[in-house]
A and B are shown apart, each in its own frame.
Chain A
Amino acid sequence: MLIIDCPYCGPRPEPEFTHGGEAHIARPADPSQATDQQWLEFLYLRKNTRGVFAERWRHARGCGRFFNALRDTTTDQFLATYRAGQKPPAVPVGGER
């Protein structure tokens, strides 16, 4: 079982968490002026990265908080977790294998 390090509660087992998709997707700053293409990108277009990927996770059956995680999508290894609103910490490209 994966142990995920919740930034609020510490290391916790995976069944307590839910996945929230790609992180750091900003809503258009002025929604009424956004073009259809900008809305399309905001709402629907997501990366499908092979390697280190920043994702949102939610400690749904714990503290209930969303946070961000850097996960290697090829190894399923969590490289770092950090609170929502923070910048991703520097992790060597490719991460630790």
Chain B
Amino acid sequence: MSDPNRRPPRIDARDWLEPLPAATRFSFRGSPEAAAAASRALGVELSQVACRANAVGERAALWLGPDEQLLIGAESDAGAMREGLVAALGDTPHSLVDISHRQVAFAVKGAHAEWLLQSGCPLDLDIGQFPVGMCTRTVFLKSEIVLWRTAPDTFRLEVWRSFADYVASLLAEAAIELSA
């Protein structure tokens, strides 16, 4: 019998899973006209193509749904992003919600990044199916995540704060196989 008190190994600062610094996040919803206004305010094009992310500097816009985008920026950029968006959107019908503290981000990187995520994500993450710049909301086992491939061997993983330990611990558990 295995020890019932056994805990999954804690995450340490190994080179494949890196907690990313706090960030500013907005959930944006609106028509293509509102998205165009937000694009001008941010200096980042809000993609109208499904599952594509655009980034300029630290600002990024991730397509999550036909009228839904996740806007990410540096933590110190919160005020400037909000003011710019509010001014540009004006009376255009839209929804803009600050969700900076709802979720946390990890970088999953290295030659095994794809393999590690594939241990819990049913989506095909092969570079041919999930190229650099593709982003989507999906699942990691029982948890909802947002995945964004920022480089061939690097993914940004956004997960709700209370699920972060669950996801990170299961990634760490999958990584045990790599050290075997």
Contact = CB atoms under 8 A, between A and B. Distances in A.
Given A9-B51, A13-B123, A64 B65 contact: yes
B68 A64 contact: yes
Interface residues of A, number: 14
Main secondary structure of the interface of A (DSSP, over half): loop
Contact of B50 (A10, A13, A64): A10
Chain B interface size range: 10 to 19
A50 interface: no
B65 A61 contact: no
A28 to B, nearest CB: 28
Contacts of B66: 8, 63, 65
A63 B122 contact: no
Given A62-B137, A63-B137, A12 B68 contact: no
A65 B136 CA distance: 13
B138 A61 contact: yes
A15 interface: yes
B144 interface: yes
A12 B123 contact: yes
Contacts of B64: 63-64
Interface of A: 1, 8-10, 12-16, 61-65
Interface of B: 50-51, 64-66, 68, 122-123, 136-139, 144
